[in-house]
Amino acid sequence: MPTSPSTGAGRYAPSPSGDLHIGNLRTAILAWLFARTTGRAFVLRVDDLDRVRPGAAERQLDDLAAVGIDWDGPVVYQSTRLPSYDASVARLTAAGRTYECYCTRREIQQAATAPHGPMGAYPGTCRDLTEAERAERRAQGRPAAIRLRADVDEYVITDLLHGEYRGAVDDLVLRRGDGVPAYNLTVVVDDAAQGIDQVVRGDDLLASTPRQAYLAELLGLPAPVYAHVPLVLNREGKRLAKRDGAVSLADQRALGNTPGDVVAAIANSLGYTARTTAELREVFEPQRIPVKPWILEPIGLFRPEGCP
Ligand SMILES: [Zn+2]
């Protein structure tokens, strides 16, 4: 049943680069639980600007439905939203808030980090180029990225699980040299356009959230409530990946496990006994989320008891 837009919305926004793995499904279920238990709508957005594998988006939507996630309204595909991203870049440019950057990735890595900036921050090489210097670089055929001219070097956000979080802001890329709008821009523009006021996602994205909240402020867009949830890691403590074994729903089906078995394992990792997302919704308490990552041994976890 669609919820009135006035109540706000949560979302899940996968990249269709392959099948969702159990870590992705767990984050999606958490985002759905946060939204549904706070009276919000829940929307899906497919981040298909880059790294698209044919058929992956359809399989991801099927898998989300199979674990009991429902959503409101049509799925939004970012590839249909290019004019909105261009309009936002144009607005910032008109306000003197952007500049062209001709640096290669390698040049940025080799350049000294900005004096007060975080490790890996853009050192500002192209920030104050003269028009003649820009013309020279264009004549060399270097593709220009568009960067934000930031006037802060940090920004504070509030996260439901992490509290006040202060993080670095640099002159982030808004549009890459190949013309593709950057994630930090598209996420901000789309969250606002979709009425999303609650962002629940993996805590690997916490560090880039101050940049996004700052950008939202510059664009006059409201900042959502954030909850960055712990990731699922493999035995080596690295982010779960395809090579870790039977990590997708299809892999689990091949082992004889149902989507309900996978939901039960995810519920268990959150401290609940439930076999459906509907059951989980009845008992879910956001403040009880374990703050540590879930270490998963994908095959062993789902083997029926007694099997080697
Ligand atoms: Zn540059």
Give the distance (Å) from ligand 1 centre to CA of residue 211.
Answer: 18
Give the distance (Å) from ligand 1 centre to CA of residue 86.
Answer: 20
Known binding residues for Zn(2+): 101, 103, 122, 126
Give the distance (Å) from ligand 1 centre to CA of residue 147.
Answer: 8
9-80+189-200+224-295 is a CATH 3.40.50.620 domain:
yes
Query: Over 60: is that where the pLDDT of 303 sits?
Result: no
Give the distance (Å) from ligand 1 centre to CA of residue 146.
Answer: 9
In sequence order, which ranges of the chain are alpha helices (DSSP H)? 22-36, 56-66, 82-94, 105-110, 131-139, 183-193, 209-218, 249-254, 259-269, 277-283, 298-302
Give the distance (Å) from ligand 1 centre to CA of residue 103.
Answer: 4
Q: Among 207, 216, 124, 208, which Cα is nearest to 171's?
A: 124
Give the distance (Å) from ligand 1 centre to CA of residue 85.
Answer: 21
- Tens digits of residue pLDDT in 225-238: 999 999 888 888 88
Assigned architecture for domain 82-188: Alpha-Beta Complex (3.90)
Give the distance (Å) from ligand 1 centre to CA of residue 98.
Answer: 12
* Location of structure tokens 């934000």: 148
Neighbouring residues of 291: CB distance < 8 A, sequence distance ≥ 6: 161, 230
Q: What phi, psi does 223 have (nearest 5°)?
A: -85, 135
- Tens digits of residue pLDDT in 206-262: 999 999 999 999 999 998 999 999 988 888 888 888 778 888 999 999 989 999 999
Known binding residues for ATP: 242
DSSP state of 214: H
Give the distance (Å) from ligand 1 centre to CA of residue 110.
Answer: 12
- Tens digits of residue pLDDT in 84-118: 999 999 999 999 999 999 998 888 777 755 555 55
CB 205 within 8 A of CB 214: no
Among the residue ranges 2-11, 224-233, 295-304, the one predicted with the least confidence is 295-304
The reply to whether 82-188 shares the fold of 9-80+189-200+224-295 is no
38-63: average pLDDT: 96
- pLDDT exceeding 90 applies to what percent of the chain? 74
**How do the domains of the chain map onto residue ranges?**
9-80+189-200+224-295, 82-188
Known binding residues: 11-15, 47, 101, 103, 122, 126, 183, 201, 242
